[in-house]
Amino acid sequence: MADLRQRMSDRLLRSGVELSVDRYEMAERARADRAPVDAFSDESSVLLLTGWVSRFNLWMARQIRPRVHRQW
């Protein structure tokens, strides 16, 4: 069971990081285009949704990762 949790956590972590990088690249392209981005534009909605999903993936990866108990 711990192995399954570890693998799922790793996949979620990888997915969250990839989405964060994609969001950063999209935001940089939007700044480079100097296009006006209002709160109701499609680009703004995609950036917002991508941010939420990546943060959720990173949070979920941390929640399901098996706990390591260390002996001191």
**Domain residue spans of the chain:** 2-64
Compute the distance between CA of residue 68 and CA of residue 62 in angstroms, rounded to an integer.
12
Structure tokens that stand for 66 in this block: 């098996």
Q: What's the confidence (pLDDT) of residue 42?
A: 77
Q: What's the confidence (pLDDT) of residue 1?
A: 72
Whether the full predicted model's pTM is greater than 0.85, yes or no, is no
17-72: per-residue pLDDT in tens? 999 999 999 888 888 877 666 666 777 888 889 999 999 999 999 999 887 777 77
Compute the distance between CA of residue 47 and CA of residue 24 in angstroms, rounded to an integer.
9
